[in-house]
Amino acid sequence: MKSRRLVHHALYALAVLLAVGICAAAIALLWIDRRVTWDAAHVSARNITGVLSGDISRTVHLYDLSLQGVIERLGEPGMERVERATQHRFLFDRSSTAEYLGAIVVVDKDGNIRYHSGSLDPPAVNFADRDFFQVHRDADDIGLYVSRPYHSRMRGGDESIAISRRLSNPDGSFAGIVGGSLRLAYFRDRFAALSIGERDEIAIFRNDGVVLLRNPYSLSDLGSDIGMSLDFQQFLIRREGSFVGVLSPDGVNRLYTFATIEGTPLILDVAMDVDEVMAPWMRRALLVVPVTGALFLSVVALIVLFRREMSQRQVIEARLEAQAQTDGLTGMPNRRAFDEALAREWLDARRERAPLSLLFLDADHFKRYNDRYGHQEGDELLKVLALVLKQKARRPRDLAARYGGEEFVVLLPDTSGQRAEAVAEGIRQAIAGLRVPHEDNGAGIVTVSIGVATAIPLAEDMEASLVEAADAALYQAKEAGRNRVAVAGE
């Protein structure tokens, strides 16, 4: 029984481990899959920023080299004495030209154009109100400057940015600027050529947070400022990397991956909508979670059903075990239960050196009672005798049992011979006091004879000896005339 119980516990433990293992495996799989999906988005964003930033860096660097070349030539001795056409060729012969690059201009300290790469006669345009002029006028350490987006005055309002450097007099005072324009269409066309999600964004902005262009394009983004955003400030500290946040006016939560464009004050970012990035993972999760839940619930259901089945089986086994140790007629413990109790109490008494007493009881002339009154009445009489014995054997360890036929036994642990004899006499008197008629018995009523034996078991003694002694005492009581108590050894 104990080994079976251990097997049941082991099966429960294995089933629980299986259920937990299923859930743990599913969670680990989803976590790894989510990590892979997230890492793939990072790699994709870094690849895009790497390609774009390299292209933009080369374009701006070439344009800047043209500006620096113009500044060097302006400083050549005798430049002012050369005729206008020669000056123009000398200043702008190495200037970069491309579809998106505008004219290079030399602007004096008042903001008026002195030289124009596209014309010997510069247009009468003043740039004193532009930020790319004012920033160099007010500070001499700016270096390469990229302006805020503006609508070009010389190209019919085309959206552009200016790339400029300061001109200084020999004494360091402000002498004007050299600048060129770059059409925002340059960024727009390169961004549009990339395949991105519907709510993904690519943006380029200055390191102070001024947005130059954002794709998808919106006129409201032109020159907008995100410089006060805590997420943007975080980027400025780290200079590269990524974070999740909201920088766009649409309020979409995105994964922003930043890259500084080398040699420029520009920053490029690729922003991927977090929901779109994780959508494939979510679809897989929506498949894995229900399947895992179904498997988990199936295992739990099997555990519950198995446990219920085992509980019912244990109840049935306990009932059968009780029936196997119970006399069907009287409801008392039977011979088997008595033998087990005697063996157990015998060992305890031997270990504790305590007395163990046994009463052996027999209904006087029971066969005659059956012959006169019938077996049904005989069975009722046995039930009455059993009820009396149960009332007299009241202590927790006392045991009254049917030994067989009309014979009963009462086992009295830790009970002296004198006390056992008193208990036996009380039983005899109680049964006689019932005055159940028995015309074929000497007293005319039902009586019993009882044999009493007591022992303090020794190592070499066997419990059968106590039964034999009590049985012998019962025989003495019958030989002495019945309806009496006899004590073994007297």
In a domain? residue 471: yes
Question: What pLDDT is recorded for position 308?
Answer: 83
In a domain? residue 309: no
Give the chain's domain count.
1
| Active site annotation includes 406 | yes
In a domain? residue 132: no
Strand pairing report for 485-487 and 448-455: parallel
The end-to-end CA distance of the chain, in Å, is 44
In a domain? residue 138: no
In a domain? residue 108: no
In a domain? residue 424: yes
- As a whole number of angstroms, the distance between CA 62 and CA 98 comes to 11
Domain CATH number, residue 374: 3.30.70.270
DSSP 8-state symbol, 333: B
Contact 406, 366 (CB under 8 A): yes
Contact 38, 333 (CB under 8 A): no
User: What string of pLDDT tens digits covers the 490 residues of the chain?
Assistant: 556 667 667 777 777 788 788 888 888 888 988 888 888 888 888 888 888 888 888 888 888 888 888 888 888 777 777 777 777 777 777 665 667 888 888 999 999 988 888 788 888 889 899 999 999 999 988 889 999 988 888 777 888 889 999 999 888 899 999 998 888 888 888 888 776 777 788 888 888 878 888 877 565 555 555 554 555 655 655 556 677 777 777 777 888 888 888 888 888 888 888 888 888 888 888 888 888 888 878 877 887 887 788 778 777 776 766 667 788 888 889 989 899 999 999 999 999 999 999 999 999 999 999 999 999 999 999 999 999 998 888 888 999 999 988 899 999 999 998 999 999 999 999 999 999 999 988 889 999 999 999 999 887 778 889 999 999 999 999 999 899 999 987 6
Catalytic residue among 406, 421, 425, 439: 406
Q: 339 is in which domain, residue-wise?
A: 335-487
Question: What pLDDT is recorded for position 355?
Answer: 94
Structure tokens at 108: 């004096």
In a domain? residue 417: yes
Question: What pLDDT is recorded for position 195?
Answer: 67
- As a whole number of angstroms, the distance between CA 148 and CA 14 comes to 68
Render the burial of 427-454: b for 16+ CB within 10 Å, e for the rest.
bbebbeeeebebeebeeebbbbbbbbbb
Question: What pLDDT is recorded for position 347?
Answer: 92
Q: What is the four-CA torsion angle of 365, 369, 371, 373, rounded to 10 degrees?
A: 170
In a domain? residue 455: yes
Question: What pLDDT is recorded for position 267?
Answer: 86
Question: What pLDDT is recorded for position 414?
Answer: 92
Contact 463, 409 (CB under 8 A): no
